[in-house]
Amino acid sequence: MMENGYLKIAMTTDSLVQVDADFISSKQLVIYDVFPEHYDFVDCIQFGPGGKVKGKGPGGGVGCNNDDNEDKPTVDRITAMIQAMEGCSVLFTMGLSDFQAVRVKNAKVFPVKMEKPRDITEVVERLQMMLNGEPPLWMVRVLKGDQSRREYLEAQQA
């Protein structure tokens, strides 16, 4: 386990219970901080028509309610979703195109494509198990990248 290692993750969801939506068509992104011993819900960000964030809630999002408006997949929606994931290290989603994956990776977020819908708590608890054991190589790289990013930001503030 990495000392003081934690992950800030984003998950695409329509149900608010499972990772059950593709990146571009998801109604919401939920954000969690995942630590080895606990996890914290950070925010739920909803997207309205055209991919626009529909307001700000206490965590920067808009709360967790449903909107039945369907959006067209546009570059603006991709940009809005990537901006909403600021500070996240990992994205869990049911699917994303190569173009979307490149944009997500360029934002320094590691995309993980799920094979089937999973409960959000199941995803978070699995990450905790990995943090407490032998994390896979991708997670080690993400954790090291986060530490380097934190050290750089601290040096800039000093």
- Report domain extents, the chain: 7-157
Strand partners, 122: none
State the pTM of this model: 0.76
Q: Output the pLDDT for position 87.
A: 92
Report the chain (158 residues): mean pLDDT per 10 consecutive residues: 71 96 94 94 84 52 45 71 94 95 94 96 94 86 68 52
Q: Output the pLDDT for position 53.
A: 62
Smallest Cα–Cα separation from 62: which of 107, 25, 16?
16
Q: At how many degrees (to 10) do helices 75-84 and 98-106 cross?
A: 40
3-state secondary structure of 94: coil
Q: What are 120's two structure tokens?
A: 């959000």
* Fold for the domain defined by 7-157: Nucleotidyltransferase; domain 5 (3.30.420)
Torsion from C-alpha of 90, 94, 97, 103, nearest 10 degrees: -20
DSSP 49: G
Q: Output the pLDDT for position 110.
A: 94
